[in-house]
Amino acid sequence: MNLQLIRDILHNGLWKQNPGLLQLLGLCPLLAVSSTVVNGVSLGLATALVMTLSSGSIAVIRSFVPNEIRIPVFVLIIAVLVTVVQYLMNAYMYGLYVVLGIFIPLIVTNCIVLARVEAFASKNSILPSALDGFAMGLGLTAVLGVLGAMREVLGKGTLFSGIDLALGDGAKDWVLHIIPDYQGFLLAILPPGAFIGLGLLIAGRNWLALRGEQKARNKPAPATAASPEAAQG
């Protein structure tokens, strides 16, 4: 694994092929759990852990799995890993486990996990695969975190609320009250807020990508093709 490959994989996961903003996979937790930064980032990290483990282990066993049954085997492995992570969190990070609740087992149904396994890990060796899973998971975490921050500030006027549940009572003072005596804005907390926020994030990402392309001026054609999409975001 050379340096260029590492950089490509990280770049793909975090920006170029970001699962939340570009592949638009894994929307279930994106929309449901991103109501606060802490929820979003915690679930993102749990997903990143599952993706790293599942991509890595599937890269190891890929040559033993017949092509016809690869999907059931992959799903089986992902489900096992998610359950293992769930048990471990329940045992050693009880507070966080209670916060994330139903969304931990739901990582199984997050199609980004299976998508990366099928698209990358089933064709590559262990280290690049694990790194790909990690980078994609981190990309998702970043989107969940930013979306969570937007929704939390707009919806509740705070940042990092609930962080004591993740890091222990000592972190209670870390909660930032951005807007004092805020009445709350329900739309931002409810699922539509997640759709709108995600739309804005995608628009922002497209705008940045477009600007980068125009600056480089190497491929003008895709830049014009992408512009209406960016405008409507």
Residues that bind other proteins (CB under 8 A): 32-33, 35-36, 39, 61, 64-66, 68-69, 72-73, 76-77, 79-80, 83-84, 87-88, 90-92, 94, 98-103, 155, 162, 164-165, 186, 189-190
What burial letters (b/e) apply to 182-210, b meaning 16+ CB within 10 Å? eeebeebbeeebbeebbeebbbebbeebb
- Report in angstroms how near the CB of residue 106 gets to other proteins at its nearest: 11
If the CB atoms of residues 1 and 84 are measured against other proteins, the closer one turns out to be 84
In the complex with other proteins, the residue whose CB is nearer, 22 or 65, is: 65
Q: What is the largest CA-CA distance in the chain?
A: 60
Q: How far is the CB of 32 from other proteins (least distance, A)?
A: 7
CB of 165 to other proteins, least distance (A): 6
- In whole angstroms, what is the distance from residue 66 CA to residue 55 CA? 17
Separation between Cα atoms, residue 83 and residue 89, nearest integer Å:
10
Q: How far is the CB of 119 from other proteins (least distance, A)?
A: 20
Tokens encoding 1: 């694994």
Considering the complex, what minimum distance in angstroms separates the CB of residue 191 from other proteins? Answer: 9
Nearer to other proteins, 50 or 165 (CB): 165
Q: Is residue 168 classed as helix, strand or coil in its secondary structure?
A: coil
Find the angle CA(128)-CA(204)-CA(186) to the nearest 5 degrees: 105
Length of the chain as a residue count: 233
Looking at beta carbons only, is 102 or 221 nearer to other proteins?
102
Alpha carbon 101 to chain centroid distance? Answer: 17
* 84 vs 200, beta carbon nearer other proteins: 84
Shortest separation between residue 155's beta carbon and other proteins, angstroms: 8
First-to-last C-alpha distance (Å) of the chain? 37
Q: Is 90 or 214 the residue whose CB approaches other proteins more closely?
A: 90
